[in-house]
Amino acid sequence: MLIKQYKEQLKAHNLKLTDKRLKLIEIFTRYDKYLSAKELQQQLVSVYPGISYDTIYRNLHTLTDIGVLEQTTLDGEMNYKISCTDDHHHHFICERCGETQVITYCPVEKWEDELAGVQLNSHKVELYGYCVECR
């Protein structure tokens, strides 16, 4: 997706186009994989020496809320990646390099059948292993 479209996504939510936000989005589009707050901080300090974790975490939440990012917990840390624009999907995540691959097959209906009576709010499907390069 083009940076321009992210800018409009921010504007549509009355959010300011700050340097830090745009830089964050740029980093996420450059690495199309899950990144931790620490990894982002390391990328950001070179450009914004005094950037605080508060800024990073706040923007990660904001960008997740408006759908620019998606999040998952890996090794006890929250990680974020640029959100795919496609339909419902899940991910395979390489345990070595962090690369992700989209998985389209998702049998929610089958699970709904199995769980007759309960109210399903959300679900998480994540596959882990080594990608073609890392195996």
Confirm if 24 and 80 have CB atoms less than 8 A apart. no
| Region binding its own copies by CB under 8 A among candidate stretches 3-11, 17-25, 42-50, 100-108 | 100-108
- CB under 8 Å to 35, separation ≥6 — which residues? 27, 28, 79, 80, 81, 98
**Binding footprint of DNA, residue count (CB under 7 A):** 26
DSSP state of 118: S
Binding partner selected for residue 51 from DNA, its own copies, none, CB under the kind-specific 5 to 8 Å limit: DNA
Binding partner selected for residue 84 from its own copies, DNA, none, CB under the kind-specific 5 to 8 Å limit: none
Cβ proximity to DNA, 55 vs 83, nearer residue: 55
Cβ proximity to DNA, 9 vs 36, nearer residue: 36
Confirm if 86 and 93 have CB atoms less than 8 A apart. no
Q: Does 2 bind its own copies (CB under 8 A)?
A: no
Binding partner selected for residue 53 from its own copies, DNA, none, CB under the kind-specific 5 to 8 Å limit: DNA
Element (H, E) at 79: strand 77-82
Partners of 94 in beta bridges = 129
Confirm if 100 and 33 have CB atoms less than 8 A apart. yes
User: Which parts of this chain interact with DNA (CB under 7 A)?
Assistant: 11, 15-21, 36-38, 48, 50-55, 57-59, 61-62, 76-78
